[in-house]
Structure 1
Amino acid sequence: MSVLIIVLAIGLLFWLTLNKVLPFIALLLVTILIGLAFGMSLNELLKAMQDGIGSMLGSMALILCFGAIQGRLLEKTGAATVISRFLMDKLGRQHIQWAVLLMGFLVGIPLFYNAGFVILVPFVFTIAASARLPLLYVAIPTASALSVTHGFLPPHPGPVGLAAIFHASIGKTILYGLLVAVPTVCLAGVVFGRRFRHHSVMPREAATLETTEALPPVGRSIAVSLLPVFLIAMSAGIGPFLPEESLLRTILAAIGDPVIALMITVGAASWFLGWARGVKTVTIMDHYGKAIESVAIIMMVIAAGGALKEVLTKSGVAAEVAGFISGNQFPPLVAGWLVAAGIRVVIGSATIAGLTAAGILAPLVAAGSVSPEWMLLSCGAGSLFCSHVNDTGFWMFKEYFGLTVKETLLSWTMMETIISVAGLLLILLFSCFV
Structure 2
Amino acid sequence: MVVLHTCVAIALVIGFIIWLRVDPVISLVLGCLYLGLASGVGFTGTLKEITGGFGEIMGKVGLLIGFGVVIGSLLHATGAFRRMVQALVSAVGARRLPYAMAGAMSTIFPSIYVDVQVVLSAPVARSAAPLLGRHGLPFLAGAIGTGIFSGYVFVVPGLAVILIAGQMNVSLGAWLVGGLCIGLATALLTTCLFGLLLRTSYWKPETDEDASEAMLETEASDAQAPPAEAGPGLLLATAPIVVPLLMIAVGAFAKLAGISNDVLSFIGNANLALFVGLLGAYLMARRQIGVERTSEALTDGFKTSGEILLITGVGGSLGAIITASGMGTELGKLFATDAGGPVLLSILLAWFIAAVLHVAIGSVSVAALTAAGIIGPVVSQLPTSPVVIGFAIASGALFAVQVNSNFFWMFKGLLGLSTKGALKTLTMVTSIAAVVSLPMVILVSWVF
TM-score (normalizing by structure 2): 0.88
* Equivalence for 2:8: 8
Note if 1:325 corresponds to 2:335.
yes
Question: Does structure 1 retain, via aligned residues, the 8 Å contact 2:167–2:373?
Answer: yes
* Equivalence for 1:183: 185
Question: 2-side partners of 1:40 and 1:335: how far apart?
Answer: 26
Note if 1:235 corresponds to 2:251.
yes
Amino acid at match of 1:379: I
Deviations 1:96-135 (A, max 9, x none): 2123224423564354212211222122111214555531
Measured after TM superposition, the shift of residue 154 of structure 1 is 3.2
Give 5+ residue unaligned stretches, structure 1. Answer: none
Seen in structure 2, the aligned counterparts of structure 1 residues 369 and 106 have a Cα distance that, compared at 3 Å, is: closer
Seen in structure 2, the aligned counterparts of structure 1 residues 137 and 215 have a Cα distance that, compared at 3 Å, is: same
Written as runs of structure 1 = structure 2, the 5 A alignment for 1:93-172 is: 93-105=94-106, 108-129=109-130, 132-133=133-134, 134-172=136-174
Amino acid at match of 1:27: L
Query: Quick check: 381-390 or 196-205, which moved more?
Result: 196-205
Written as runs of structure 1 = structure 2, the 5 A alignment for 1:31-430 is: 31-105=32-106, 108-129=109-130, 132-133=133-134, 134-196=136-198, 199-201=203-205, 204=211, 211-241=227-257, 243-244=259-260, 249-271=261-283, 273-275=284-286, 277=287, 279-327=289-337, 330=342, 331-367=345-381, 369-430=383-444
Local SS of the residue matching 1:161: helix
Measured after TM superposition, the shift of residue 314 of structure 1 is 0.4
Local SS of the residue matching 1:280: helix
Note if 1:431 corresponds to 2:445.
yes
Question: 1-side partners of 2:403 and 2:276: how far apart?
Answer: 40
Q: Percent identity?
A: 26
Query: Quick check: 371-380 or 200-209, which moved more?
Result: 200-209
Question: Does structure 1 retain, via aligned residues, the 8 Å contact 2:398–2:431?
Answer: yes
* Equivalence for 2:24: 23
Seen in structure 2, the aligned counterparts of structure 1 residues 110 and 321 have a Cα distance that, compared at 3 Å, is: closer
Question: 2-side partners of 1:256 and 1:147: how far apart?
Answer: 25
Question: 2-side partners of 1:104 and 1:155: how far apart?
Answer: 12
Measured after TM superposition, the shift of residue 79 of structure 1 is 1.0
Question: 2-side partners of 1:278 and 1:425: how far apart?
Answer: 45
Deviations 1:339-383 (A, max 9, x none): 111212222222221122112211322336432222111111111
Question: 2-side partners of 1:118 and 1:283: how far apart?
Answer: 19
Question: 2-side partners of 1:129 and 1:325: how far apart?
Answer: 50
Seen in structure 2, the aligned counterparts of structure 1 residues 266 and 373 have a Cα distance that, compared at 3 Å, is: same
CA-based RMSD of the aligned residues comes to 2.4
Question: 1-side partners of 2:417 and 2:293: how far apart?
Answer: 38
Local SS of the residue matching 2:336: helix
Seen in structure 2, the aligned counterparts of structure 1 residues 111 and 340 have a Cα distance that, compared at 3 Å, is: closer
Give 5+ residue unaligned stretches, structure 2. Answer: none
Measured after TM superposition, the shift of residue 14 of structure 1 is 1.9
Local SS of the residue matching 2:22: coil
TM-score (normalizing by structure 1): 0.91
Seen in structure 2, the aligned counterparts of structure 1 residues 159 and 120 have a Cα distance that, compared at 3 Å, is: same
Question: 2-side partners of 1:127 and 1:203: how far apart?
Answer: 17
Measured after TM superposition, the shift of residue 243 of structure 1 is 4.2
Amino acid at match of 1:305: G
Measured after TM superposition, the shift of residue 195 of structure 1 is 2.9
Question: 2-side partners of 1:8 and 1:373: how far apart?
Answer: 28
Question: Does structure 1 retain, via aligned residues, the 8 Å contact 2:49–2:321?
Answer: yes
Query: Quick check: 145-154 or 327-336, which moved more?
Result: 327-336
Seen in structure 2, the aligned counterparts of structure 1 residues 413 and 293 have a Cα distance that, compared at 3 Å, is: same
Question: 1-side partners of 2:90 and 2:174: how far apart?
Answer: 33
Deviations 1:268-291 (A, max 9, x none): 2223x234x354334333322321
Local SS of the residue matching 1:94: coil
Seen in structure 2, the aligned counterparts of structure 1 residues 328 and 48 have a Cα distance that, compared at 3 Å, is: farther
